[in-house]
Structure formats: C-alpha cells, structure tokens
C-alpha cells in the first residue's frame, strides 16, 4: 500500500535535507579555506581530482540548493509565520489574539517580502560589480 506524505512528514524530510545540505556547505567552505593553500598559490593543487575552482563551483551550487530548500521551508510555514506576526501586532496594539489576515493577504505580504529581499541582494551585487577593482600594474 502506498504511503501518503502528510505535511508533517514533508516538513521533517525537508528539515533533514536542509541539515545535510548545511553540513555539506560548511564542510566545503572549511576545505576551501583551510585545506587548500592560500588563493595566490593554489595553481596545481587538487583534492580527489578536483581543483580549487571546481570546489568553489560545488560550494556555490550547494548554496543555491540550500537557498531553494530554505525558501520552500518558509513557504510551507508561511501561515505559521503570519500567525506569529499577527499575534505580536495584536498584543502590541492591546488586542486579543485570533484576528489573522486571509490567505490572499498573507500571499501578498510574502511576495512583497520576497521582492524586497531580492532587491536588497540585487543592489548589493550591483554595488560590488560596479566597485570591483582589477590588479594594478
């Protein structure tokens, strides 16, 4: 008989995946920082047949997978996040708990927050791209 995946099971396995991905990301970062020699002298060095640039690409790929999984995690918990924020807002305004926004309003807040976060990241990347300096001869 096929086993049904309920929300709790999906959340559990997503959290296990996030933990494993986070540990892998930490491990790769430590390998890049402490196993390989300093960046100026990495030419010719490799670990298990992969050079520094490949390991760096693996780190970035692992980070992208983690960002996607965290986004999925937040989406699965969005009603809870909105409920907590609504309760905090109600308490600060002296209202009783219980009044919450509808699904459409919560979705709009979520999309707005995502747009704001992506804009902040985009501005930071743009500033870095515009102010990076090449080697001086």
pTM of the model: 0.72
pLDDT of amino acid 1 = 57
What per-residue confidence (pLDDT) applies to 94?
74
Q: d(Cα 82, Cα 113) in Å, to the nearest integer?
A: 12
pLDDT digits (tens, 9 = 90+) for 2-56: 677 788 888 889 999 999 999 999 999 999 888 888 877 888 888 999 898 899 9
Do 73 and 89 meet the contact criterion of CB atoms below 8 Å apart? Answer: no
Nearest to 107 by CA among 68, 131, 128, 81: 81
What's the distance, CA 51 to chain centroid? 26
Average of per-residue pLDDT values in the chain:
85
d(CA 68, CA 62): 10
Q: What are phi and psi of 77, to 5 degrees?
A: -105, 10
Q: How far apart are CA 134 and CA 137, in angstroms?
A: 10
Number of residues that make up the chain? 137
Question: What does the pLDDT read at residue 2?
Answer: 64
């Amino acid at each position: 008989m096929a086993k049904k995946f309920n929300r709790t099971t999906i959340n559990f396995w997503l959290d296990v995946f996030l933990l494993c991905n986070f540990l892998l990301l930490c491990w790769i970062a430590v390998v890049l920082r402490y196993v390989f020699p300093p960046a100026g002298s990495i030419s010719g060095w490799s670990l298990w047949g992969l050079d520094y640039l490949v390991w760096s690409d693996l780190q970035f790929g692992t980070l992208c997978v983690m960002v996607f999984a965290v986004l999925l995690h937040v989406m699965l918990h969005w009603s809870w996040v909105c409920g907590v924020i609504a309760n905090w807002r109600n308490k600060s305004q002296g209202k009783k708990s219980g009044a919450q926004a509808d699904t459409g309003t919560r979705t709009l807040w979520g999309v707005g927050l995502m747009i704001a976060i992506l804009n902040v990241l985009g501005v930071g990347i743009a500033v870095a791209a515009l102010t990076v300096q090449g080697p001086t001869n």
